[in-house]
Chain A
Amino acid sequence: MTVTVTTSYIRPTLLHSCAWAATAKEAAFRIDKPPAYVRTSRVFALDPGAAGVVRDLAAMPWHDTRFIPAFDAGTLADELRDADLAMMIATADDGAAAAHAIGHACWERGITTAGVVLDLGGLGLRRAATEAVAALRPHARVLLVTEDRGDIVEILGEVGA
């Protein structure tokens, strides 16, 4: 690989106006005010096992997040109004119909989908990673298979739920 310095590269004259701005000293001048960021999230349980998890989550402090422990096709459109993230939680492989309905409604509305397959002990990670995931896969932009329900709290927290 031959790297050539083109004429368009002009050597900067100030510390903050070149890549040296990455030093610790210059990092101190990063704007401290967090960027504006709001995420309106909905968290759906896809099966009875997941319903308990979703109810526990609902008891924690969140910004603009609603938790739906029992999927209801009749209220889906209302639930998704103004949402920009729908997370679906499965603990078994029988939530395919609900996943399909939610996934399709989100696709129509341009809402990001995420899926968590939570192995609560019965399923086994291998099976969780195959059967429950198969139900969720077509409808979740990102899918996490895990035994740790703390992962859900973490992802929701990180995405600003």
Chain B
Amino acid sequence: MVLQFAWQSAKGGTPMLKQEINELLTRTGPGTEMGDLFRQYWIPAMLAEELPEPGSPPVRVKLLSERLIAFRDSAGNYGLIDEFCAHRGVSLWFGNNELDSGQAPGLRCAYHGWKYDTTGQCIEVPSEPDNSTFCRKVKLTSYPLVKVGDILWTYMGDPDKQPALPEYEFCTVPSEQSYTSKRWQECNWLQALEGGIDSSHVSWLHNAGLKNDPLFKGSRGNEYNLNDMRPFFEVVESDGGLLVGVRRNAEEGHYYWRITPWVMPAFTMVPPRADHPVHGHFWVPIDDENCWVFTFDYLPVRALTEAELAAMKAGHGVHNEYEPGGTYRPLQNRDNDYMMDRDAQRRGETFSGIKGIAMQDASLQESMGPIVDRSKERLVSADSGIIKARRKLVAAAVELREKGITPPGVDPVHHRVRSVAAVLPQDASFVEACREDLVATPGVRQTTV
């Protein structure tokens, strides 16, 4: 097939080159098609722990290629505003988050003292007379910053179209049932997300983790995983995105199914194993060559145990260890070749020589380059989930731009999904048999093997 015809149907019949598709999918700055798409959704901006209390130091946040400053004023309000002062463009990171109770709450620029509230409104210009109203005419761009679960979410789109708050189960269960970490990944968001949709790498890259990791081991599903290295795949559209089902042989007449939901644009969830916490990710563009990977672990009906929480904080499961200094940069990173351990690789303790599920993924995805050139890939039919996901993203971005159609995944109903692991009779359809298990229902345990 001559590749440039492949996407003819996406853009009103105009053929798109593979390079154009790649550009469209990977660029999320202001004014880009995928950037507009992301600006339809609430997205994770940061962890709530980064602004723990009123008056916490301001934090630099870059999202969708926009540099912002997040702060929590002395009254406890969260704000996410343009990083740079309207006066002479100084970074407000140096600013003083004023705690003096006699003063209006706000962040004061360190250079000449202009002061802003959490909406970006300038509330004081010290060089003006006392009774001047000039400051009211100065306002920085700002976005809402709202705590839901352990995450501070933002919406960077048209204020008139702001949707209802996110309802993903991991951030709506009681806090003792959920834990979220984040890590910096040094590549484009899409190649990271695609790792969350691509179930065919798990039996290879993560094989040792299934046996040894405290947050994985001991599930009957692991045996099916390891005994059948050539799974079958089924990709079905859902209201919010896709369901990717992977089936392996189980006992006579049965298949072991692992079902991964993708909710557009950037939420994926790993199917559960035994009674271990269920995990998943939110893949958020920082700029076109970096992304935040928010990683959650939760249980619908019980609190995380101390041992589970300790394991997560120590970097087990899908979490990771960090460089010192609170940068959220993984300890294993490209400066140290991810601490490659050839001996462990030779002994079969890790498949790639890299320790930990998260860094096994991140190291390979970063090795693809800052933005992988998708025109050079040679996909196979087992990659159909990735192919379909890209098509849905392009279609949604084009329909939004050309017809103003709200994309899937904006409606919070689409957020109420779950991953599922189940053993089903061979003739059962996973979509039908697991219809209820795939919906997040409060008080109902996850469906797991």
Binding site for B on A (CB under 8 A): 1, 3-6, 8-9, 11-12, 18-24, 26-27, 30, 34-35, 37, 60-63, 65, 85, 87, 112, 114, 125-126, 129-130, 133-134, 137-138, 140-148, 150-151, 153-161
Residue numbers in B under 8 Å from A158 (CB-CB): 6, 377, 379, 383, 387
For residue B367, CB closer than 8 A to chain A, the reply is yes
For residue B134, CB closer than 8 A to chain A, the reply is no
Assuming A9-B341, A129-B432, A130-B431, is B391 touching A150 (CB within 8 A)? yes
Q: Which residue of A lies closest to B3 (CB)?
A: A157
Binding site for A on B (CB under 8 A): 1-3, 5-10, 186-187, 230, 232-237, 289, 314-316, 320-321, 331-344, 355-356, 363, 366-371, 373, 376-384, 387-388, 391, 426-427, 429, 431-432
| CB pair A156 B337 closer than 8 Å | no
Q: How far is the CB of B371 from chain A (nearest CB, A)?
A: 8
Partner of B233, one of A11, A60, A143: A143
The answer for the CA separation of A65 and B379 in the assembled complex, in Å, is: 16
B186, B384, B427, most chain A CB atoms within 10 A: B384
The answer for the CA separation of A159 and B377 in the assembled complex, in Å, is: 9
Partner of B235, one of A1, A142, A147: A142
- 30 residue pairs of the A-B complex, CB under 8 angstroms, read A1-B320, A3-B332, A5-B336, A9-B340, A18-B337, A19-B335, A19-B338, A26-B369, A30-B369, A30-B376, A37-B378, A61-B1, A61-B5, A126-B432, A138-B426, A142-B232, A142-B234, A142-B384, A144-B234, A144-B235, A145-B234, A146-B388, A148-B9, A150-B9, A153-B1, A153-B5, A153-B9, A158-B383, A158-B387, A161-B1
Residue numbers in B under 8 Å from A142 (CB-CB): 232-235, 381-382, 384
Partner of B379, one of A20, A30, A35, A159: A159
Assuming A3-B339, A6-B341, A158-B387, is B234 touching A133 (CB within 8 A)? yes
| CB pair A87 B236 closer than 8 Å | no
Residue numbers in B under 8 Å from A160 (CB-CB): 1, 378
Partner of A35, one of B232, B331, B378, B380: B378
The 8 closest A-B pairs by CB, nearest first: A150-B9, A157-B6, A19-B334, A114-B381, A27-B369, A157-B1, A1-B315, A142-B233
| CB pair A3 B355 closer than 8 Å | yes
